[in-house]
Copies of this chain bind each other. A is one copy, B any other.
Amino acid sequence: MENETIRLIEVKESIFDDNERVADTLRARLKGEKTFLVNLMASPGGGKTSTVIQTVARLEESIRVGVLEADIDSMVDAERVAAEGILAIQMRTGGFCHLDASMVSEGVDVLGSVPLDLIFLENVGNLVCPAEFDTGAALNAMILSIPEGDDKPLKYPLMFSVCDVILLNKIDTEALFDFDRHRFEAGVRRVNATAPIFEISCRTGEGIDAWVAWLTAKIETHNA
């Protein structure tokens, strides 16, 4: 099942680096290259890979996309993305629970950012640690899925506070779960006054167009 077109890199934490400095350097470089880097964070199984695939399928063809798939182990996500014809590399953290800006810089180098307009960085599935590290992205996006429950902003406040946009995924499963949208939104607004919330279903495609339109405007502004 090994796909020879997918590159795998092993990334390690750079404990001597000043992460903020490395992140700022990467952000400035990608701004100069007109490449928009999106850091996508969620719980395990929240729908990060599905969201990448559904989003890329609806972007204008003129937008050239690459994907950095980060995982503790396995090539599963990069294989799924590559199977859709999307340029992807797998970054394996070897047990590490988040990405720092040095790891992302390495991934961006291997992927080759210059010809790309958009890079999706799929962070490690975790609502805690990834929120603490600036990856150098221009946009922090997070996904919460309906089955996870409406109380998550109260329990993972840092994640909900650092994100610029929230995707509420799996809304097609709403009938099976007790998810109170008002409670969810109230929880989000306690820690984040401005991030827009897009309701989506990667399974049915509902709501993806509105998110893609918003994202496209962000890409155009950044890469202008």
Contacts and interface: CB of A to CB of B under 8 A. Distances in A.
A221 to B, nearest CB: 32
B43 A156 contact: no
B128 A72 contact: yes
Interface stretch (A4-12, A145-153, A206-214): A145-153
A44 interface: yes
A127 B127 CA distance: 10
Interface of A: 43-45, 71-74, 76-77, 95, 97, 124-129, 132, 145, 147-149, 151-152, 154-158, 170, 172-173, 176-177, 203
A155 B73 CA distance: 5
A151 B73 CA distance: 11
A148 B74 contact: no
**Copies of this chain in its oligomeric complex:** 2
Main secondary structure of the interface of A (DSSP, over half): loop
A200 to B, nearest CB: 15
B147 A45 contact: yes
B155 A44 contact: yes
Contact of A74 (B71, B77, B154): B154
Contacts of A147: 45, 145, 147, 170, 173
B156 A44 contact: yes
Contacts of A173: 147, 173, 176-177
Contacts of A128: 72, 95, 97, 124-126, 129
A147 B50 CA distance: 13
